[in-house]
Structures are given as C-alpha cells and as structure tokens.
Structure 1
Amino acid sequence: MVAHARTPSSSILLILALYFLQGMNLGITSSIPLFLIAHGATWKDRGTFNFAFYPFSLKLIWAPLIDALYVKRFGRRKSWLIPIQLSAAVILLFLSFYVESFIENLRTILLAVIFFAIVVLTATQDICVDGLAISLFTATNPQWTSTSQTVGQTMGRFMGSSFLLTFESANFTNRFIREPLSITPKESGLFSLQQFVRFAALAFLIVTTCLIFFFREKENLPIVDDEETESLSLTETYLSIFKLFKKKCIQQLTLVSLLAPMGIIAVNYMTPLALLNQGVPRENLALVNIPVTLVAIVAPLAIRHTESPLRWFAGSYIAYIITGIPIAAYVYYTPSMISTSYYYPILILLLACNEFCNALRFSAQIGFFAAISEPRIGGTYMTLLVTLHNAGFAIHSSIVLYIANWLPKNYDFVIATGACTIIGIIWLGFSFRTLKRLQEIPTHEWYLLPMQHSDDTVKSNEQGPSDHRASLMADE
C-alpha cells in the first residue's frame, strides 16, 4: 500500500481557522431562535427564521463565479475571501448595536433578513474554503478536507452557541463564577449577546488580516498527458454543472443527498427546542452541549484515513436514527425527571452518543464529496455536492417544523421523531445497494477531465495518492 504524503500543518491550521469562522457565524445564527423562544416565539417563528439558512442551499448559483473570476496575482481564493470576510465583519459590527432590541420585540422577519445576508457571505466563504482545501489536500489526503471542516465548524458552532448561551446567562455567571469569587451578583452574564457579536466581527478582521499578509496562494492546475490544463472560463464553469448532472453517478448521489435527511430531521433540528419547551433552562442546555461538542470534534478524527466513506455513512446514519429514539422518550419524560440527580448525566450520555453518530455521518459524506471532486473546478464541484446535501436538510426541516406546529403540543417532538425514524429506516433499506455501488465507482468517472487510468477508485485514493491523483496538482 502506498503511504500518504505528509499534509503540511500550516495548511491544516489555515483551513481550520477559516472553517472556525464559518461555524461561529452559523452558531450565532442557530442561537437566535433560542433567544426568540425566551421572549415568546412559536414554532412558526422558528420556521420563519429558518429561511436564514437557505443561502447554503442556493450557493451553487454563484459558485462558478468564485472558480472562474479572480485576480491571478492576488490568488484564486484570496480574491474572494478578503472582501467577503471584511463585509461579514462590517455587518456583524452593525448588527451588534441592534440585535438585542430586535429579539426583545420579536422582529423575526427583520432578523431573518439580516442573518440571511450574513449566511450568504458565510456560504460564499464556504465555496472559497472548500476549493482551497481541495487544492491543499488532494495530493496528500482528501479526507482532511472533511476532517478540517467538521472539526473547525464544530468548534466555531460551539463558540457561537454553547459558549455564548452559557456565559451570556446571568444565572450561570452569578452561580458558578461571581458567587464563588465573592463578586456581587448582576442581572447580566459575563458578556451580552451584542458584545459577543462584536467579538465575532473582530475575529473576522484578525483572520482576514493574517490571510492578507501571511498566506501566499499558489495556482495549481491539473495535468493531463504531461500538459497543464487551462482554467475554465465562467461560461465553461457554469456548463460544467449541467455536464456533471448528465452523469448517472451524480444523479444517484443527488437522490441520496436530497432524501437522506428525511430520517434525521426531527432529532437534528427539534431536540434543543423541545428540551427548552420541557423546562430545561437555556444555560443548562448550553452546559450539556459542552461535552457533546467535544465528542463531535473528536469523532471525525476516527475516520480521517477511511477507505470507504459511504460505508461509514450508511452505518452512522442508521446509528444516528436509532440513538434518536431514546432521546425522544427522555425529552417527553423530562418534566418528571428534571429535578433528579441522574437527569443531566443521562441526557449528556444520550446526546453524546447521538452526536457522535451524526459527526461520523457528516464527516463520511463530506469526505466522499472531497475525494470525488475535480480540483480544476473544486469550488463549484464541492459546492454542488454540499448544496444538494444542504438543500435536503433545508427543505425537510421547514416541512417538519411547520407540521410540528400543528401537532399536539405535548407530543409534537415524539410524533415527529417517530415518523422520521420509520421513514429513515425505509429509505436506507432501499438505498444501501446504491451507496455501495457509488463507493465502488472509479474516481476518474466522477471527473469531467479525461483521465488515462481506469482502475482507480475512491477507496484507492484514500489508501494513498494514486497516479492520477498525484498528477492533479502541480508542485504541491
């Protein structure tokens, strides 16, 4: 077996930092509904705000612009990353002065519009970072793209959600920080929401400054028949999307990405809100998420050298569904158990097991996407695949949340979880052979670029840099 070339630590740290910024933005966005619920928002309001996440499902529309239009002297990815991250910093800074007022007055639609703009920038940054990660990791270990994304985004989401919710809470800060240090209790937490949003703006400015002065991007193009290929024009890049959809393997993968979320939407989206509705304090929920997040960060490292990402996806998918069943039951009986000493330890255990399976599922699926993406159009190709993944979640989440609003209040989460579980098991039963078949397709058959070799599979790519993989990046 051919050994992997060593992946530079500096490349890993850079991608981790950029994905961390994404995660922090998404974490803040996902925390807003919890603040809204504290002020009386309904499931309908939550469904309305959920539209703020839709840009991640629409980013394919402008992804070819990122691949085709750039200043060569400045760098293909830096040409976009710099203005995008500076714009995000400006919007976050502006928002920090008004966000608390908007929440108190339940300005749900206005908040959805503002965060829609923030997520548009975050989604665009994601296109750039995906393309950059593919360029940096293709010749060494494509799975690092998925691992870096999962770890970086998870850490960022932790900062923007659990960390924010915990230390913004006056109850938590007074009880566990001020009281032990004999500090006078206050009506506010260690910091406010507006201060944290301001901190996020500062983080964007710092990372962007470092990106400007300390990172030099190299233009790497695929090599075919010992000749370097030309970059695609904007028109050619857009046409590449339609050409990809003509491939039967892409069509099958599209169905997998759009239909798979049906079985996991309820547990994935409704669990935190259901716990809040059952009386779990917001700050306690944030504390529970700390060990759960640590598990989610460690999980992707277990498959960073996997040889069969889609087999891991299938196994972790069914495990994620199964571990959601006891969570639904536990949430239902929360009011009668929440005052006991064993409630939170068991809740942490259940959520940690569930999140471990979810992190494996996500990392395996994104790792497969990275392994089959053609570096020449890496941003567009990866965006196409991830957009299909996000579209499935966005569509099904809105449907489930709106339906949940009409279910009996005491049973909404249990009914939704049960229905999704049955649908997910049925879907996986019908799709398992398709997943196995997609895993065995030679990697070059996923490319638009004509290749010389015909015996390379995704599996062989993950064992070591194969001949055609090694030829894709010039002087990496």
Structure 2
Amino acid sequence: MEPVLGDTLSVSSTSFQNVALSPRTPRSTVYRKFDADLDGLDEEDEDELALLGEDERLHYGQGIDVEDGFGDINRPPQPISVEDKRAMALLCVLYLIQGVPLGLALGSMPFILQKQLSYGQLATFALSGYPYSLKLLWSPIVDSVFFSSFGRRKSWIIPMQIVNGTLMLYISLNIQRLMDDPSHHVAHLTNVFTALVFFSATQDVAVDGWALTLLSPENLSYASTCQTIGLNSGYFTSYTVFLALNSEAIATRWGVPRLTLAAYLKFWCFVSYGVSVWLLFKKERKEPVSDSGIGIKEVYKQIWIICKMKHVQALMIMFVFGKIGFAANDAATSLKMVEKGLLREDLAVAVLINFPFQIIGGWLVGTWSRGEYPLRPWLYAFWPRIAFAFTAMLIVYWFPQPPVSAGFFVFLVVHTVLTSFTSTIQFVGSSAFFTRISDPVIGGTYMTLLNTFSNVGTMWPKWFVLKSVDLFTIATCQIADNSAYFGEAATECVTQRGKKLCAEIDGTCLVSRDGYYIVSTACIIFGVIFMMLYTIPTAWRLQSLPTNSWRVKI
C-alpha cells in the first residue's frame, strides 16, 4: 500500500471510468504446450512459445501481447456490472479496515507520543510500520495454505480480522497504563502496534490476491482504485479524524465528548468482528490456480525466479531508493511543525480538509495511469513532490510564532493538498503498473512482491531520518545566572531525558543546530541526482516492455 499508505501513507489511489484497453493483468492465464516448428528462434523464445497455445502463438508472432486469450486490445468499453460494483464495495471495506492500524501506527501515535519521547525513541516506535513493507516474507504461505471448502482468501482474511479485533480490544484495555509514562513503555507500545500492523499486512496479501479474481478481467485495473479509497479512508480516519476528535480544545469548542484512544480501538474491534461475520456469507469464485497444486516451496522458488529477472531488479532499485528525496519530509516535517507551535488539532483539521481532495484526486488521476504508460504520471509527479519537500523545509524554518494566523493556516492547507495530490498521482501510477504486469499464476504473491519494493522505499528511510535528526542536532541547556541550582548542569537538550533534566533545573533548551535541516537537504539532493541519472530512464524502459516478459514460466 503507497496508501495512504503514502506517502504519509503513501498508503498507502484511482478511477472508476471504463477504458478502451483490455486488462493488462488477466484474471487467469492458461498455458498449453504444443509441438511446432520453432526454427529461427533462440532458446529463450522457444521456452516462451512452448507455453502458448496456437492462437496465443499467432498473436505472439503478430507482436500482440497474450492476455487471457483476448486478441483485440481495442475492444469498446463495457459497463460495470452489478457484481463488479459489489466486489468493489467489498474491496473498499477490506482495505479500509487495513488502513485503520496503519493510521494509528504511522499517523496518530507519533503525534500523541511526541511530547514525551525524543526523535530517537519515535524512530523505535516507527519500526511498528515495517511489517507492512516486509509481508513478502510470509506471503507465499498466505497464497498457498488454505481450506478450499472455506475459501482460499477467506481462510486468511476472516481469522486476521478476528485476531486484529481482539488485539485492538487488548490495547484499548491497557493503553491508559502505557500512555501514562510512554518513555518507559516504548518497547511494549512498539510490540503491540507491530503485531497489529503484522496481522493487517497478512490480510492485505490475501485481499490483493482476491482482487485478481473478485473483479472481472475488463475491470481488474479498478482494484487499485478500491485500494486507494479504502486504505486512504482507513488511514485518515485513524489519523486526522481521530486526532481532531481526540483534541480537548475541539471537544470544548464544539461541546462534544472527547474521543479517547481506548474507545476508538473498541469501536474498530467490533467493526472487525462484524465484517468477519459478513464475509462468512460471501462466496468465492473458484480460482484456476487453486487446482494447480503450487506448494509453498514452489512459490518461494518462483519469487526467486522473478527477483533474478534483470528488469525486476531494476524496478526494485528504482522504488527502494527513488523515494529518498522526500523521505525526510514524510517522516519529520509534521512533527517539526507541531514542535514549532502548530496545534495538533490544527494539523488534524488541515489534513481533514485535504481528505476529500485525496479521494477525488485518486478518482480522477486514475485516467492518467491507464494505457501503455502507467508510470508516466508517476514520473511527472516527482519534480513537484521534491519541490514541495523543499518548500516544507522552508516553512519549518520560517514558521511564525504561535498562534498561527488564518492566512498562514490557509497556506498550510493548500500546501498539504498539493503535496498529497502529488503523492496520490505516484501511488496510482505505481499501482496501475503493478496490476498490469502481475502474474496471477501465483496470485497475491506477485502483487505483494511488487508492492514490497514500493513500501520498503517508503518505510526504510524513516528510522534513519528520525535517528539522524537527533544525531545531527546540537542543543544545550542554558541556566539563568541567578539560578539557585548548584549541581551538575545538563550538557545536552536533545534527548527526552536531557529536556526533562533541563526543565527540572529551570533551564532553557537552546538549539544551535537543528539536524532536521541537514537531513532534509541531504535527502533532497540525493533524490534529484538519483531521479535524473536512474529513475527517469529506467521507468521509461520498464513500461515499454511487453507484458509477457514479466510472466513466470511454470
């Protein structure tokens, strides 16, 4: 997920309009061997053609991609069936539930903990989001082990939702004790939220695989639309909506009860239980791959085969390192604004205003990512996204003294909307490209492999960014001349312990060098250089490859 995941969650985006192209990722692919004269072909072409039927071989010879037996790639658009609309609604709900833990772990909790934890401790808590990026490690198990009588995808989705609901209930019953002194419970908080994200990531593997068969072939590309709407809705509900309703200032101003974290977790606990009951009555279509007998060992073997492809390796490098340019902005800018005096509720309102633009943008941007060049808008969004990261650094540097004026707040909202829009464009483009090239023979595993590259690129720099902010920051505690304190003076004011000691002796923290600006500048410079020398030429080359070059030969 770049929903929302994304890239605040670049989650972790897209469109419901019909297109004139047949789907780039078929619902199923059937390979048939045949005896034919293969003179004039090299060994690789022989292996490729040996997997095709006569009609498919004919299309291959004519330079037409083989996709589910469709030879006419210019078929007229077909209306979305009622069954597909119901499938889209189901996918949106499932992705929404997955977005809720991500919004808490990557969004709300860092802001709630910021006043009591240093950036280094926040970096430790940030590790809780990593399972979502590393789900490839166990995705073959999800893709291969199931009860066929119960449903290949339901065998995992329902248990994961029940476990997640139970875990949220546990956290709700213990969160007050953990939040009373979070500096002594960083490990425990990290562990419980890591588990929450882990089970959500496991469910995501099954949902990604189900999307390949839940939708009809001509509407398959709308799976990324459902992912965008669902993940973003869940993420922003746990991030902006919760932060706003959790604010004492907003509760007092509007005369509404303050929403506690415990109550919020209990609500989603029961939602998870309810959706699990609903899924019990949802029947799955029988997948051809279910009868293929592909075991776990074979799936891992296929992953290794995929990873050895030169163009897959190029794709991995492009996504893992291409997002460093705006990594510091995604990880630390909002935290710095709150540190400078921006109220959490004001930040929540700003992102809440941005939410409808994010959804509408995802809907509209989908049309740009269709066709033969889905990565084109992804590339075009790089420049403005890095530019907005640079602008955000300047905003932090010249942040006005609180309270924030109405004019400056409007400027922040506009900047947030534009930044998120560029993130949405990139998420839609990458999702559309992944859907186009994924091989359904190994279902969700192939999609998970591709999404892993994107998610790792978003997540892995975060720990290093937050740690580096503390590492490069120089702050000392200044004590007034008339102070009655005669003990050992605090020499640093970077860590939470140093800040607390400085406050106890009536000192003032003076920052002589803020590591945020050093880290942000380094990230932006690297991002621009890497984009010009590697990302742009590689992206154009990869999306020009025929679809069958991404297929796994079994």
TM range (shorter): 0.7 to 0.9
- Structure 2 counterpart SS, 1:126: helix
Q: C-alpha separation between the residues in 1 aligned to 2:400 and 2:132?
A: 36
Aligned-partner SS, 1:54: helix
1:399-410, aligned counterparts within 5 Å?
399-408=464-473
Distance 2:166 2:291 in 1: 38
Structure 2 segments unaligned to the other structure (5+ residues): 1-73, 474-510
Q: Indicate if the aligned counterparts of 1:231 and 1:376 stay in contact, CA closer than 8 A.
A: no
Q: How does 1:36-47 map to 2 (within 5 A)?
A: 36-38=113-115, 40-47=116-123
The CA deviation string for residues 207-253 of structure 1, in whole angstroms up to 9 with x for no partner, is 1111112x11112227xxxxx97242222111110111121111111
| Alignment match, 2:415 | 350
Partner of 1:469: none
Match for residue 283 of structure 2 among 216, 234, 244: 216
Query: How far apart are 1:260 and its partner, in Å?
Result: 1.1
Q: Residue 372 of structure 1 contacts residue 446 of structure 1 at CA under 8 Å; is this kept in 2?
A: yes
Partners of 2:520 and 2:442 lie apart in 1 by: 39
1:163 match:
241
| Higher deviation after alignment, 141-150 or 285-294 | 141-150
Distance 1:219 1:44 in 2: 49
How far apart are residue 191 of structure 1 and its match? Answer: 1.8
Report the counterpart of residue 443 of structure 1 in structure 2. 547
- The alignment covers a number of residue pairs equal to 433
Whole-Å Cα distance in 1 between the matches of residues 419 and 145 of structure 2? 41
**Pair 1:287 & 2:333 matched:** no
1:330-369 to 2 correspondence within 5 Å? 330-336=395-401, 338-369=403-434
The aligned counterpart of 1:414 is: 517
Letter in 1 for 2:240: S
Quote the residue 2:364 is aligned against. 302
- Residues 33-92 of structure 1 show CA distances to partners (whole Å, capped at 9, x for unaligned) of 111113x21101110001111112221111011111111111110011111110111111
TM-score, normalising length: structure 1: 0.87
| Identity among equivalent pairs (%) | 28
Q: Deviations over 1:259-282 (max 9, x none)?
A: 112111111121221111111111
Q: Distance in 2 between matches of 1:428 and 1:138?
A: 36
| Aligned pairs for 1:141-152 within 5 A | 141-152=219-230
Deviation at 1:5? 4.0
Answer whether contact 2:160 2:202 (CA < 8 A) is retained. Answer: yes
Q: Do structure 1's residue 102 and structure 2's residue 178 form an aligned pair?
A: yes
Compared CA separation, residues 218 and 413, structure 1 to 2 (3 A):
same
**Greater fraction of residues in helix:** 1
Structure 1 residues 220 and 303, CA gap change in structure 2 (3 angstroms):
farther
Match of 2:462 among 390, 397, 420: 397
The aligned residue for residue 263 of structure 2 is 195
The amino acid across from 1:436 in the alignment is W
- Change in Cα spacing, 1:338 to 1:321, as seen in structure 2 (3 Å) is farther
How far apart are the structure 1 equivalents of 2:220 and 2:352? 29
Is 23-32 or 303-312 further displaced after alignment? Answer: 303-312
Q: Distance in 1 between matches of 2:455 and 2:216?
A: 23
Aligned to 1:139: 217
Aligned to 1:11: 87
Letter paired with 1:345: V
Tell me the residue number matched to 1:185.
none
Structure 1: state its 5+ residue gaps.
Answer: 179-188, 223-227, 451-476
Paired amino acid for 1:245? C
Could you tell me how far 1:419 is from its partner in structure 2?
A: 2.0
What SS does the aligned partner of 1:405 have?
Answer: helix
Q: In 2, distance between residues paired with 1:53 and 1:221?
A: 34
TM-score with structure 2 setting the length: 0.75
Query: Contact between 1:337 and 1:343, CA under 8 Å: does it hold in 2?
Result: no
Corresponding residue of 2:99? 23
| Cα displacement (A) at 1:6 | 4.0
- CA spacing shift, 1:6–1:25, aligned 2, 3 Å: farther
Judged with a 3 Å threshold, the aligned counterparts in structure 2 of structure 1 residues 85 and 57 are, in CA distance, closer, same or farther, namely same
Aligned match of 2:130 in 40, 54, 58? 54
Cα separation, partners in 2 of 1:437 and 1:229, compared to 1, 3 Å: farther
Corresponding residue for residue 316 of structure 1: 381
For 2:380 and 2:338, locate their aligned partners in 1 and report how far apart those are by CA, in whole Å.
30
- Deviation string for 1:424-443 (max 9, x for gaps)? 11111012111001011111
Which letter maps to 1:252? A
Name the counterpart of 1:462.
none
Contact kept, 8 Å, 1:168 with 1:192, in 2: the verdict is yes
1:425 alignment partner in structure 2: 528
Q: Distance in 2 between matches of 1:293 and 1:271?
A: 19
Give the letter for the 1:267 counterpart: N
Instruction: Give the Cα–Cα distance (whole angstroms) in 1 for the partners of residues 124 and 441 of structure 2.
Output: 38
Structure 2 Cα separation of the partners of residues 418 and 137 of structure 1: 44
Partner-residue secondary structure (3-state), 2:406: coil
The AA in structure 2 aligned to 1:161 is Y
AA matched with 1:256: M
Q: Could you tell me how far 1:394 is from its partner in structure 2? A: 2.4
Task: Tell me the equivalent position of 1:83.
Answer: 159
User: What SS does the aligned partner of 2:243 have?
Assistant: helix
- Please say if residues 35 and 103 of structure 1, whose CA atoms lie closer than 8 Å, have aligned partners that are also in contact: no
Quick one: which amino acid aligns to residue 340 of structure 1? S
Deviation at 1:135, TM superposition (A): 2.0
In structure 2, what is the equivalent of residue 464 of structure 1?
A: none
Instruction: Give the counterpart letter for 1:37 in structure 2.
Output: Q
Distance 1:55 1:197 in 2: 20
Give 3-state SS (helix, strand or coil) of 2:114's partner: helix
Name 2:297's counterpart in structure 1: 235
The Cα of 1:176 is off from its aligned counterpart by: 2.4
Bigger Rg over Cα = 2
Query: Matched residues in 2 for 1:192 and 1:229: separation?
Result: 48
Q: Give 1:338 shift.
A: 4.5
One-letter amino acid of the structure 1 residue matched with residue 439 of structure 2:
E
Aligned to 1:34: 111
Partner Cα separation in structure 1 for residue 218 and residue 363 of structure 2 = 16
Contact 1:221/1:231 (<8 A) preserved: no
Q: CA RMSD in A?
A: 1.8
Q: Distance in 1 between matches of 2:153 and 2:164?
A: 16
Distance 1:18 1:398 in 2: 28
Q: Tell whether the 8 Å contact from 2:224 to 2:432 is kept in structure 1 after alignment.
A: yes
Q: Equivalents in 1 of 2:280, 2:422: separation in Å?
A: 38
Is the 1:147–1:367 Cα contact (8 Å) retained in structure 2? no
For 2:403 and 2:390, how far apart are their aligned partners in 1? Answer: 19
